[in-house]
Amino acid sequence: MTAKHVIDVDRCKGCGLCVAVCPKNVLEIAGKVNSKGYFPAYQARPEDCVLCAICCTMCPDVAITIVETARAEEAQG
């Protein structure tokens, strides 16, 4: 199994806590507002994410999760 970092942009209030604690500087605040009028966080450099989950722990709105995904080879098997 592999994992994927997911941000629920409609839940995010753009507080920036996740951006501040990311050890790999993966996250940034978007320049476009979400459905609630906030500037949400997004993965500016997803290839640098090490899935440490510090952002998930820090997020007060529980807007960030890490979910397991099946690799293509496993899905075909």
Which CATH class, in words, describes the domain spanning 2-76?
alpha beta
Quote the pTM value: 0.83
Give residue 29's Cα distance to chain centre: 11
Q: What percent of the chain has pLDDT over 90?
A: 82
d(CA 57, CA 1): 22
Q: What percent of the chain has pLDDT over 70?
A: 90
In tens, the pLDDT along 12-39 reads 999 999 999 999 999 999 999 999 999 9
Instruction: Please give the average per-residue pLDDT across 46-50, as a whole number.
Output: 93
Each domain of the chain, given as residue ranges in start order, spans: 2-76
Residue 2: per-residue pLDDT? 83
